Amino acid sequence: MILTDLKSYLIEHQRVPLMDLAYHFQTTPEAIKDMLAHFLRKGKVRHLVGSRCEKNCCCQSDSTNLEIYEWVG
């Protein structure tokens, strides 16, 4: 995967959870974060952190599902 593929995907979907990016590009969340760092430095992507519901009935325990990246380019 190259940065232009990641950029295109983010532009198309606007807001994407980290796990969805990792799944789509068939790589680890850490690898995706490393690539996203380029766009974060340039101010093209915003990192958002979701919150768990208080009942814990609908949220998974994996914190990468709560990390969301938004294209603001």
* pTM for the structure as a whole: 0.79
Spatial CA neighbour of 48 closest among 19, 26, 18 = 18
Domains and CATH numbers, the chain: 3-71 (1.10.10)
pLDDT 10s digits, 27-71 = 999 999 999 999 999 999 999 987 665 555 555 555 556 899 999
